[in-house]
Amino acid sequence: MRILAVGDVVGERAVRELRHMLSEISRKYAPDLVIVNGENAAGGRGLTPPLAKDIFSAGADVITTGNHILDNSTVLDYLDSTDRVLRPANFPPDTPGVGSCIVPVSGFRVLVINVSGTAYMKEEAASPFLSAEHILRTNSGAYDFAVVDIHAEATGEKLAFARYLDGLRELRVAAVWGTHTHIPTADARILPGGTGYVTDLGMTGPENGILGIRSDIIITFTKDRLPQKFEVADGKTVLDGVIFDIDGETAIASAAKRIRL
């Protein structure tokens, strides 16, 4: 089966344009499961219930998130009402929402996990390694294969996490992808154990900016160290993602193909 993983959606305009972009991708690649990171949909920081519903309406089956998911208070009750919008599973236990779900797709049960990295991240989070492994072992027998979104800053942490799970073949992790940096990496591949991997999907948002935010704001923020209110950039929207082809019987990926629209 084929899974499409879509990079962090930045801003409301990208959410609006997502329907057309996913429709075009679906016509060309026919994914069985679409997983979209909605981390930055609300003005570049966080997510709201209406925007989550728009992302689902555009064609997403599951929404993953990351460090900004709790920035907008309107989403807190919504997280407790659905298991298809995930927050990092290694956030503190009393955090609203869940960090994983099992989705039936084309006769297979797909376990989708969302974790946060800990290197260079400000948010309090437990070990993504141990948290993901706990979920996988706890749900053993209830899923056919698993995929994981690790929302992290450090490239080394993402690859170490993926290689760790790739070495635990009994846990049937078929794909691991990184999000958060908004920069697409050129290392989409299959790890030795059969896990599809990419360090970062990239983003879905305006390319005329810096990480989807207006360039002048980010330059002032980084060059002069002055507080700034982030505003989403203008310019055409790009969608970055990776398509993973997975054998549902063996939980092994046969292809990891980067796409940009």
User: Which residues are CB-neighbours of 32 under 8 A, at least 6 positions away?
Assistant: 1, 2, 3, 105, 106
DSSP-derived letter for residue 170 is G
| Helix/strand number for the chain, H first, E second | 6, 13
Question: Annotated active-site positions, please?
Answer: 68
Check: CB of residue 59 under 8 Å from CB of residue 25: no
Cβ neighbours, 10 Å, residue 176: 30
**What is the DSSP pairing of strand 196-198 with strand 173-179?**
parallel
What digits encode the pLDDT tens for the residues 142-159?
Answer: 999 999 999 999 999 999
What digits encode the pLDDT tens for the residues 185-198?
Answer: 999 999 999 999 99
User: Which residues are CB-neighbours of 202 under 8 A, at least 6 positions away?
Assistant: 7, 8, 182, 183, 184, 185, 240, 241, 260
Token pair of 65 as six digits: 């998130």
Entry pTM: 0.96
pLDDT one digit per residue (tens) for the chain, 261 residues: 999 999 999 999 999 999 999 999 999 999 999 999 999 999 988 999 999 999 999 999 999 999 999 999 999 999 999 999 999 999 999 999 999 999 999 999 999 999 999 999 988 899 999 999 999 999 999 999 999 999 999 999 999 999 999 999 999 999 999 999 999 999 999 999 999 999 999 999 999 999 999 999 999 999 998 888 889 999 999 999 999 999 999 999 999 999 999
- CATH classification of 2-207+233-260 is 3.60.21.10, yes or no? yes
Question: Where do the structural domains in the chain lie, given as residue ranges?
Answer: 2-207+233-260
**What is the DSSP pairing of strand 108-116 with strand 62-64?**
unpaired
